């Protein structure tokens, strides 16, 4: 495929505007984020070099590619509206260039962004997010409080706890049950008023504990003030932060999902959504590009402002539809795969309709 002057001109405008919009929006986002978190960073003693070169460099990469489809959408509307406002599109179409041919450089540029986004999301961002999340854990926030948690921590082992306190790293009202292979007979249970565990190892300390071993004729009870032992899981397994999956590559994420399924975790749909979004979100670039060109290729009285307003309405509707399907998958049992792809399907249909009615 040979690129003509028209192709090169539009691709240059497309990608140049995209880079400008991304840098502008991410810079504004970083300023607002810094104003909110600066006191926490300084109180925790975060070095300025790490704030800017560790945290915000990775912040830029993560959020830039997290919302790349919206940044691309705004960029398309911006520079296409300027082309229409400068009466550059009418001569192109009047010269015999079909609207379909006019779209070719747009989709070449979109394809470049899609490929880059897929590679970044699956191979670069996980490592980048590890640095960002490690910085947040050290200087901004630790694990969040948890209430009334239940989990299958190993085959036949069920854990309940009433509350997790992140500041003291303690679990209160710890209750562990061990069942037989068929899950119809309880073999062992342990209760502790306070339990402390290590986030990386399986080492645990218990205060005021009771152990009950269930026998065929009588039970054996053991009481104690405190004890140290190892279990099949760590504190980090219990109070896992959902956003840590952002630091997993595809292989790690698939393995983690399989483990969570084996545990019977109710958060599996949330993890599956993250997995499917890594492919669905980049393909939204094609869909929103077609909508953006269809909306802004006609010169209108309101000019750039009106086209951007229309574009923002579409952007909000797209985000809103994503939120609805995500909540449906997490709370109602909607299929995660369909929850992720349904907004693309709906807006893909809208894009085709708008393409058909666009001025040609």
Same domain, residue pair 31 and 123: yes
Interval 203-227 mean pLDDT: 86
**Residue 253 located in a structural domain:** no
**Does 76 share its domain with 26?**
yes
Q: Are residues 11 and 127 in the same domain?
A: yes
* pLDDT at 239 exceeding the cut of 70: no
| Edge-first strand listing for the sheet containing 203-214 | 146-154, 157-165, 170-179, 186-197, 203-214, 219-230
Model confidence at 135, in pLDDT bands (50, 70, 90)? Answer: confident
Same domain, 134 and 278: yes
Establish if 252 belongs to a structural domain: no
Judgement on whether residues 180 and 214 belong to the same structural domain of the protein: yes
Q: Same structural domain for residues 76 and 42?
A: yes
Q: What is the pLDDT of residue 250?
A: 84
Residue 251 located in a structural domain: no
Is 313 domain-assigned? yes
In-domain check, residue 257: no
- What is the pLDDT of the chain when averaged over all its residues? 85
State the Cα–Cα distance between residues 329 and 326, nearest whole angstrom.
5
Are residue 54 and residue 101 in the same domain, yes or no?
A: yes
Q: For residue 167, is it within any domain?
A: yes
- Examine the domain organization and report whether 218 and 307 are in the same domain: no
Does residue 112 surpass a pLDDT of 80?
yes
Percent of the chain residues topping a pLDDT of 90:
27
The residue from 239, 259, 281 where one domain ends is 239
Q: Is residue 85 part of a domain?
A: yes
Residue 185 and residue 69 share a domain? no
Element (H, E) at 238: helix 235-238
Q: Is the pLDDT of residue 240 over 70?
A: no
CA angle centred on 215, ends 212 and 217, rounded to 5°? 125
Q: What is the extent of the structural domain holding 63?
A: 5-140+267-357
Query: What is the distance between the alpha carbons of residues 336 and 322, in angstroms, rounded to a whole number?
Result: 11
Quick one: which H or E segment has residue 163?
Answer: strand 157-165
How many distinct structural domains can be found in the chain?
2
Same-domain pairing of 58 and 166: no
48 in a structural domain: yes
Both 219 and 78 in one domain: the answer is: no
Q: What pLDDT is recorded for position 231?
A: 83
150 & 119 share domain: no
């Amino acid at each position: 495929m040979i690129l003509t002057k028209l192709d090169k001109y539009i691709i240059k405008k497309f990608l140049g505007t995209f880079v400008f919009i991304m840098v502008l929006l991410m810079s504004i986002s970083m300023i607002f984020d810094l104003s909110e978190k600066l006191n926490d960073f300084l109180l925790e003693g975060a070095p300025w070099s790490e704030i800017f070169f560790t945290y915000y460099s990775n912040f830029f990469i993560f959020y830039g590619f997290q919302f790349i489809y919206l940044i691309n959408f705004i960029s398309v509307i911006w520079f296409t509206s300027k082309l229409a406002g400068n009466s550059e599109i009418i001569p192109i179409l009047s010269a015999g260039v079909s609207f379909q041919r006019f779209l070719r450089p747009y989709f070449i540029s979109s394809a470049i962004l899609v490929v880059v986004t897929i590679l970044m999301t699956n191979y670069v961002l996980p490592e980048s997010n590890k640095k960002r999340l490690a910085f947040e854990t050290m200087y901004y926030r630790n694990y969040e409080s948890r209430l009334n948690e239940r989990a299958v921590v190993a085959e036949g082992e069920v854990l309940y706890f009433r509350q997790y306190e992140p500041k003291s790293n303690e679990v209160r009202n710890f209750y562990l049950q061990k069942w037989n292979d068929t899950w119809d007979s309880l073999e062992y249970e342990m209760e502790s008023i306070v339990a402390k565990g290590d986030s990386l190892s399986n080492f645990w300390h218990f205060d005021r504990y009771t152990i009950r071993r269930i026998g065929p004729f009588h039970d054996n009870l053991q009481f104690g003030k405190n004890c140290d032992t190892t279990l099949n899981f760590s504190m980090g397994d219990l109070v896992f932060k959902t956003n840590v999956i952002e630091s997993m590559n595809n292989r790690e994420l698939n393995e983690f999902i399989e483990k969570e399924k084996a545990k019977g975790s109710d958060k599996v749909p949330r993890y599956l959504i993250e997995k499917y979004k890594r492919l669905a979100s980049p393909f939204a670039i094609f869909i929103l590009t077609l909508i953006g060109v269809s909306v802004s290729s006609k010169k209108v009285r309101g000019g750039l402002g009106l086209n951007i307003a229309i574009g923002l309405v579409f952007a909000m509707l797209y985000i809103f539809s994503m939120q609805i399907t995500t909540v449906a998958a997490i709370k109602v049992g909607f299929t995660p795969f369909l929850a992720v792809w349904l907004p693309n399907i709906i807006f893909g249909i809208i894009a085709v309709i708008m393409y058909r009615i666009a001025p040609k």
